[in-house]
Amino acid sequence: MKTKITELFGIQHPIIQGGMHHVGYAELAAAVSNAGGLGIITALTQPSPEALAEEIRRCREMTDKPFGVNVTFLPSVNTPDYPGYIKAIIDGGVKVVETAGNNPQQVLPALQEAGVKVIHKCTSVRHALKAESIGCDAASVDGFECGGHPGEDDVPNFILLPRAAEELTIPFVASGGMANGRSLTAALAMGAEGMNMGTRFIATKEAPVHDNVKQAIVAASELDTRLVMRPLRNTERVLTNDAVERLLEKEKRLGADLKFEDIIDEVAGVYPRIMKEGEMEAGAWSCGMVAGLIHDIPTVKELIDRTMAESEDLIRQRLAGMLSD
């Protein structure tokens, strides 16, 4: 399938694996790239620029196809060494960067000079237009359904994607709620040039996370996510568990007096315990409503091949068949 995204990134299929904390390691990125999509390493999962450089080297040993690196710009107590991470990306010969969080303007000149293509993750049309205006090559338009941070506007993809198509001139992919060939076909119909999958790629054989995490996603329905940290305007969609319900009870009880310190036990430092150790009650972890569409744990190649075959069949048979002669 040829779209503006496959041509921009030099990939076979218009499928991108989103950068995910403590999930986006070389094993998963290489598997996605080898299957014809665009795999993504998550920079800030690596403790230092040197560790990221080593992860890029590891990925290069596992695939000769294009892969990218996610760099997320978030306010934090100890600011990461962003210039160091960007240097590791450029020195590693990576040609695609997915940026997320705050405005990536400060790193664009260095990346562009090195010939790196930048796709910025946006939860609103205004943010996507800003990404376009500062020189990003593409946007990943992230609907309210998504796992992780959906922004504060609460616009689902059935509205957000056609709105992006009305406004943007750069190509964009659909993110949030993407799981299969139906998702891809619908995204293309609404103006996207491909799709970005996060939660769906966690439930694959190559995803380097504990099996408990994969089983939890398969067992979950579309009703099992919750929105936390709304009062702090740092909304995150997570899979419900006892810790999440405790957190929500605190938010309700404290109301306008809520501070981040009040919920730190449920949200800080829990990812390694969940993703590596499989402690499913350790705290809040990002998961999309798309869990309701995830029923198995295939290999990455099986997932991508199945998705592309389903999409092609929908376009050639179901949709084309609806046209009268």
Mean pLDDT for each 10-residue chunk of the chain (325 residues)? Answer: 98 97 97 98 97 98 98 86 98 98 96 98 98 98 97 97 98 98 98 98 98 98 98 96 97 95 93 97 97 98 98 97 88
Determine the structural domain holding residue 45 and report its residue range: 4-208
At 27 the pLDDT is: 98
At 325 the pLDDT is: 75
Evaluate whether residue 130 is within a structural domain.
yes
Between CA 192 and CA 207 the distance in angstroms is 26
Nearest to 90 by CA among 61, 68, 106: 68
Between CA 276 and CA 253 the distance in angstroms is 32
At 209 the pLDDT is: 98
Between CA 192 and CA 7 the distance in angstroms is 14
Evaluate whether residue 127 is within a structural domain.
yes
**In 10 A of CB 148, how many CB atoms?**
25
Nearest to 87 by CA among 120, 62, 124, 116: 116
Nearest to 60 by CA among 26, 87, 31: 26
Q: Is the pTM of this model over 0.85?
A: yes
At 77 the pLDDT is: 72
Q: Count Cβ atoms within 10 A of the Cβ of residue 259 and give its class: 0-12 exposed, 13-18 middle, 19 or more buried.
A: exposed
Evaluate whether residue 172 is within a structural domain.
yes
The domain that holds 160 is classified in CATH as: 3.20.20.70
- Which stretches of 255-325 are DSSP H helices? 264-267, 271, 300-313, 320-321
Between CA 176 and CA 157 the distance in angstroms is 8
* Tokens 């380097």 sit on residue: 208
At 78 the pLDDT is: 84
Evaluate whether residue 71 is within a structural domain.
yes
Evaluate whether residue 276 is within a structural domain.
no
> Which residues in the chain belong to E strands, given as ranges?
15-17, 39-42, 67-73, 96-101, 117-122, 138-142, 172-175, 195-197, 225-228, 236-239
Distant-in-sequence contacts of 57-63, Cβ < 8 A, 24+ apart: 57/92, 58/26, 59/26, 59/29, 59/30, 60/92, 60/93, 62/26, 62/27, 62/30, 62/31, 62/34, 63/29, 63/30, 63/33, 63/34, 63/39
At 76 the pLDDT is: 76
Evaluate whether residue 235 is within a structural domain.
no
Look up residue 325 and give its DSSP letter: -
**Residue 228: both structure tokens together:** 């936390």
* Tokens 């995803």 sit on residue: 207
Count how many domains the chain has. Answer: 1
Evaluate whether residue 64 is within a structural domain.
yes
Evaluate whether residue 101 is within a structural domain.
yes
